[in-house]
Structure 1
Amino acid sequence: MLLAGTPEFLVFTLVLMRMSGFVFLNPILGRKNIPAVFKTGLALVLALVVYPQAEPAGEEVTSAVVYAVLLLKEFALGYLLGFVMQLFDMVVSFAGSVIDFQMGLSMATVYDAQNGTQIALTGNILQIYYLLLFFAVDGHLALLKILMTSQDIVPYAALKLGTGSAQAVLQIFTECVVLAVKLAFPIIAFEFLVEVATGLLMRIIPQINLFVMSIQLRVIIGLAMMVFLISPAGDYLKGIISQMMQGLQDVLRTVNI
């Protein structure tokens, strides 16, 4: 029996470390513009919610070194789950960068407080849209359910961190790249058609300087397409959120393989 004869406080700290790792790399709950006090309090609240159901099963704590290793493992698992969420969050920012490049707005960037870098304007809009949809479809409740049931898949203090988790994360990364390209593809296709049409007109009517007009036309068509695709994009982003939840569960299932 794990932690036989030790205070329940030790079990609580294992839960707290898993929740802390999850919160601090979480792209939604652990953003850099959120005060550290709030994130620490959130991790503590999550630990208090999950702790009553915690049933550790693993090696017995015989020394401070073993206990420290167990804490680091739990933090690593939470950090890994947060990293998976980060990958799915990068889908919208990467798609926005591709869209802005096609529209000729790649130089129009805004500061991203989450990553501390400049982000594409369209990517920022998509991230806000994604964040609103996440809470609209009760994604935060789904996350809480995954955290509360994570012990059923990976009991506390029984984490091995095998190579299966690395393979699962690599697979998720590949899927995220494909998802980003699919999200940006409609606008990429229309911008490509605009380029082809502009090239044909310049060949047919060389007297007209369409180069300057094409730049403005690409921006106008790109913005029009974004307005037209706002509803389908919402449905697509909801699918991404569902895939993210599935990805978190897949990582939990493979973490000990």
Structure 2
Amino acid sequence: MEALTDQLVAVLLVSLRIVPLLAFAQPFTLLRVPVTVRLMLSISLAAWLVAGNPEATWRAPFWGAGLPMVVIGELFLGVTLALALQLAFAALLTAGRAIDIQAGFGLAVLVDPTTKNQLPLVGTVFAYAAAAIFFAMGGPQDLLAILDASVANVPLGTASISGDPAALMTYIAAVFLMAVGLAGMVLLVLFVLDLAIAFLSRTLPQMNVMLLGFQLKAVATLAVLPLAISMSGALFLRLMRSALEIMPLLIVR
């Protein structure tokens, strides 16, 4: 009976590593999945991890560390894992927002039906493209392997609030640089159009430059954006791969 209790408690504790990923991290928040289903999936995956790692979970002396501290440590570990994906998609949304402002789409926003948040128009396209590549490249399988490794390397009751700030800063710089690279072609075209319209305004001051600029840049964005996305598959793949590669470095004991 005591062993069964330890297993049930271990399942609930390990689920705290998974819930932040499924509940708050993109690309999972881009899917309209009921909260109950997300919770059941988290508990099911936690039960799988506990069954596969008994020595690091329910047989580990986690009671001695104090249940509240174990809960905080497990929840922090889950938030840390979710942070890697969140930063990658935040970089994509930021780059998309820059295009929106340059193209005149700044007033247009999309409401995510899952989180009810307002998202940039082009940034949403980038996010869904990255999500498609994440699932196509086997990201969920890699994520399961990372979760299994986290249980083996950081048993219950041993998680701590620490890490490698240098690795995290390097990762943040890398993902935002790749996001700017994704948006670079569109931003370059919009910049050239801005220069051309500025010269026109000097030679034809009676022309409604603002109205002309909005129309030209909107058409140029719609024309160049599909080309930019189709030519940036390697960058999308590298961006998602970087998010998965940084996760083991953020897992600390």
Question: Match of 1:75?
Answer: 75
Alpha carbons 1:25, 1:83 under 8 Å: kept: no
Question: Match of 2:138?
Answer: 138
Alignment of 1:67-216 (within 5 A): 67-162=67-162, 164-165=163-164, 168-206=167-205, 208-216=207-215
Question: Match of 2:61?
Answer: 60
CA distance in 2: counterparts of 1:61 and 1:239, whole angstroms: 37
Unaligned 5+ segments in structure 1 are: none
Alpha carbons 1:93, 1:119 under 8 Å: kept: yes
Alpha carbons 1:22, 1:80 under 8 Å: kept: no
Shift of 1:216: 0.8
Alpha carbons 2:93, 2:120 under 8 Å: kept: yes
- For the aligned residue pairs, the C-alpha RMSD in angstroms reads 2.8
Shift of 1:179: 2.9
| Change over 3 Å in CA distance of 1:160–1:216 after alignment to 2 | same
- Tell me whether 1:245 sits opposite 2:241 in the alignment: no
Question: Match of 2:22?
Answer: 23
CA distance in 2: counterparts of 1:172 and 1:115, whole angstroms: 26
After TM superposition, the structure 1 stretch with the greater mean CA deviation from structure 2, 199-208 or 76-85, is 199-208
CA distance in 2: counterparts of 1:159 and 1:23, whole angstroms: 20
| Change over 3 Å in CA distance of 1:176–1:230 after alignment to 2 | closer
Question: Match of 2:12?
Answer: 13
| Change over 3 Å in CA distance of 1:62–1:243 after alignment to 2 | closer
CA distance in 1: counterparts of 2:172 and 2:73, whole angstroms: 22
Unaligned 5+ segments in structure 2 are: none
Question: Structure 2: which amino acid aligns with 1:179?
Answer: M
Secondary structure in 2 matching 1:110 = strand
Shift of 1:215: 1.8
CA distance in 2: counterparts of 1:113 and 1:172, whole angstroms: 29
Question: Structure 1: which amino acid aligns with 2:198?
Answer: G
CA distance in 2: counterparts of 1:19 and 1:202, whole angstroms: 56
| Change over 3 Å in CA distance of 1:119–1:7 after alignment to 2 | closer
Question: Structure 2: which amino acid aligns with 1:71?
Answer: V
Shift of 1:207: 5.5
Shift of 1:209: 4.5
Shift of 1:189: 1.4
CA distance in 2: counterparts of 1:116 and 1:202, whole angstroms: 41
Q: How many residues align?
A: 250
CA distance in 2: counterparts of 1:195 and 1:7, whole angstroms: 65
Secondary structure in 1 matching 2:110 = strand
Question: Structure 2: which amino acid aligns with 1:219?
Answer: A
CA distance in 2: counterparts of 1:87 and 1:73, whole angstroms: 21
After the TM superposition, which segments of 4 or more aligned residues of structure 1 sit over 6 Å from their partners? none
TM-score (norm 2): 0.85
| Change over 3 Å in CA distance of 1:32–1:68 after alignment to 2 | farther
| Change over 3 Å in CA distance of 1:21–1:124 after alignment to 2 | closer
CA distance in 2: counterparts of 1:211 and 1:15, whole angstroms: 56
